Structure 1
């Protein structure tokens, strides 16, 4: 390593290993958002969460737990009043940070300067259309398209590692090809999402927004690292196995790293098949995890949205 006259401590951070096997985490820094997308799984998007002291404690717990990769999401994370300080602290604690954003704040110089100074490992931006009329209708915010387009252009020009998530719903499906062309014209990687989930509150008002011709069949669920090497934190520092299986959860602010010792047991309990899924003859090739199936069941969603029996 060429240190160019610098001390090794200026370029290399050594961290102690965590007591468990957690290396990845996601953090909803705040559920508030400046968009009001028709298909948003968050439902009511409240501006609430930890103050900055609480955020510092939570990030310290994540560091002590061994988290190396941290995904900061929301709501819209860039509108959180403490985002800049929390993001910079995560970097200083030695985490590789991915930010999930709608891009609406990237046209602001102070935000772009922050990300240019402390480049995210990945900046994943959601795209909701290819024209102002469609974009503003899907997000239910006038001017959303202009803010996104300006922010996207700024992020690309700044050399940030941008990924795009193309969210395809009834209201923008006619622009799917134009969305793909836009991403390709910028030389950006993109993935498409068309399978919409119920809200985290167990309601189904989001599901009619799905565009039937773009729905995809998920691969059979064969397990995941949720609650084992990965965990999720909500805006109050409550850790759960993932953003779908939110309960039971662990208050990391009150319990610290030691509380995570219970997460593996919670994961095992949430993966047990119960109710209508117990004894299912197709369980070996089920395409959704048990927590996701439960969300669909609570929302009284059509069986075809999540279960093979509804596809027969």
Structure 2
């Protein structure tokens, strides 16, 4: 099993380590030298041994370069990142969820293998697997291992409900994610179970989080702040601090992907924040989103038009740049706005809020006046 991934990234040449967000940048000449050394039986050169030891405290002295380093080829486009909803099913029933109706459906394992191969060939280096809840998908272990074997560095977005299970934790110990981002919905059982509408959810989450921290996984917490847990925000912060785990706070709730307003009443008004002005986005150019059926879109919000990666393969991604430009130009009711230059949401997100008939203050500067 490889311990390092060597890959082009734009004009740079990188050495990456699964389970880490760090990198070693190489001159092109050293990268080419390393590829040549790895093609025939050779040990890892001393200059790389020293660099890897300094960056990750990993000693590769005397080991075969071809066995410990997986080489990636550049893709045909500028794409380097992708997110993948392995499914939309979830074992929670949070009223704040942007997915709306959560149906457990998607590609079979053969389709998942095809999709991951297309992503690899497209040049995806960093892959975020999400859902729904990805860890409840029966194909997750095989798909996750395959993404690792193909040389992708994987981040997992999860509610953490399955981390208390030994087979899940053992999988992540063996193939560490570059980041494990876990959503936190409260600091007590009463509050957590109320937000998720699942009895026992807090107990399972707490056990899984404790196990994941003890396993040394790279964890990042997302503190989801809503009306039902706003009284426990400081307790949630304290919990994260005690675990010495980084955290971010999310209080701005969005409509469903289909323009439904159902999640909006969950917002806690006192914790809403002003989004920074939208100044551009790499969606559709260096990044894309794939849904459970392998349909690639510029992001999880701007899902139409899309590209069927299972049917079209890598070549279909050539259209995403044009799709992104067209979606960003569609104002959907904002034409002639004198404040559009400092708008705080992108055009696809503005359309979702408009479809939900949300109050202007949720997404538009005019509603703040």
Please tell me the TM-score bracket, short chain as reference: over 0.9
Alignment TM-score, normalising by the size of structure 2: 0.84
* C-alpha distance in structure 1 between counterparts of 2:188 and 2:141, whole Å: 30
Pair 1:158 & 2:205 matched: no
Higher relative CO (Cα under 8 Å, sequence separation at least 6) belongs to 1
Runs of 4+ residues over 4 Å off in structure 1: none
Hey, what does 1:192 align to over in structure 2?
249
* C-alpha distance in structure 2 between counterparts of 1:136 and 1:290, whole Å: 35
Pair 1:215 & 2:281 matched: no
Structure 2 unaligned blocks of 5 or more: 1-48, 50-58
* C-alpha distance in structure 2 between counterparts of 1:241 and 1:273, whole Å: 14
Match of 2:290 among 233, 251, 256: 233
Alignment TM-score, normalising by the size of structure 1: 0.99
Give the structure with higher Rg (CA).
2
Pair 1:243 & 2:307 matched: no
Q: Per-residue displacement from partner, 1:243-285 (whole Å, max 9, x unpaired)? A: 0000000000000000000000000000014332111100010
Hey, what does 2:141 align to over in structure 1?
84
Q: Tell me, what secondary structure is at the counterpart of 1:171?
A: helix
Q: Per-residue displacement from partner, 1:210-238 (whole Å, max 9, x unpaired)? A: 00000000010000110000000000000
Q: Tell me, what secondary structure is at the counterpart of 1:13?
A: strand
Superposition pairs of residues 74-153 of structure 1, within 5 angstroms: 74-153=131-210
Hey, what does 1:38 align to over in structure 2?
95
Q: Evaluate the alpha carbon distance shift between residue 275 and residue 108 of structure 1 in structure 2; reply closer, same or farther with a 3 A threshold.
A: closer
Pair 1:289 & 2:346 matched: yes
Q: CA deviation at 1:5?
A: 3.6
Pair 1:300 & 2:300 matched: no
Asked if the contact 2:84/2:127 (under 8 Å) is kept, the reply is yes
Asked if the contact 2:220/2:246 (under 8 Å) is kept, the reply is yes
Q: CA deviation at 1:6?
A: 2.8
Pair 1:21 & 2:50 matched: no
* C-alpha distance in structure 2 between counterparts of 1:236 and 1:38, whole Å: 25
Pair 1:66 & 2:139 matched: no
Asked if the contact 2:92/2:197 (under 8 Å) is kept, the reply is yes
Hey, what does 1:170 align to over in structure 2?
227
Pair 1:263 & 2:324 matched: no
Q: CA deviation at 1:38?
A: 1.6
Matched pairs, number: 312
* C-alpha distance in structure 1 between counterparts of 2:335 and 2:68, whole Å: 53
Q: Tell me, what secondary structure is at the counterpart of 2:321?
A: helix
Asked if the contact 2:155/2:179 (under 8 Å) is kept, the reply is yes
The root-mean-square deviation of aligned C-alpha atoms, in Å, is 0.7
Q: CA deviation at 1:4?
A: 4.0
